[in-house]
Amino acid sequence: MSSDEGEDDKLAFSITRIRNIMKSSPEIGSISHDAVVTMAKCTELFVESLLRCAYEKRTDPKVVTYDDVAAAVQGSPQLDYLHEFIPSKIRVRDLPNFEELCKKK
């Protein structure tokens, strides 16, 4: 076993999955193993940071929920780019035009 394989075992995300995601971009040609490992480590650090922020915003002391993650994203200027991907949940009846939608049926 090479030292590279030992490092791969320490990563939280599958190298194969990361490589497949990277290859799904039409602009990407060949990808070195080092690039995939680096991307996997960056992803791991990003998720850890996001969950740390969500943990601080949690409403339940035992678990981190989607609402906690959304609150962390909405409350952090550094995570503005994620607003569309991780929006705060709203109920349908809280939509501004909910009554109009109901009347159309």
- Residue 75's CATH number: 1.10.20.10
pTM above 0.85, yes or no: no
Q: Residue 3: what pLDDT?
A: 47
The 10s digit of each residue's pLDDT in 19-72 is: 999 999 899 888 999 999 999 999 999 999 999 999 998 988 899 999 999 999
Q: In this structure, are residues 53 and 76 in contact, taking their beta carbons and an 8 Å threshold?
A: yes
CA dist., res. 3 & res. 10, Å (int) = 11
102 — pLDDT class (breaks 50, 70, 90): confident
CA dist., res. 21 & res. 54, Å (int) = 25
92 — pLDDT class (breaks 50, 70, 90): confident
Looking at residue 102, the DSSP 8-state letter turns out to be: H
Total structural domains within the chain = 1
97 — pLDDT class (breaks 50, 70, 90): confident
Answer whether residue 78 shows pLDDT above 70.
Answer: yes
Q: Residue 45: what pLDDT?
A: 95
CB 72: neighbour CB atoms within 10 A? 23
Answer whether residue 12 shows pLDDT above 80.
Answer: yes
Q: Residue 105: what pLDDT?
A: 57
* Structural domain containing residue 71: 3-104
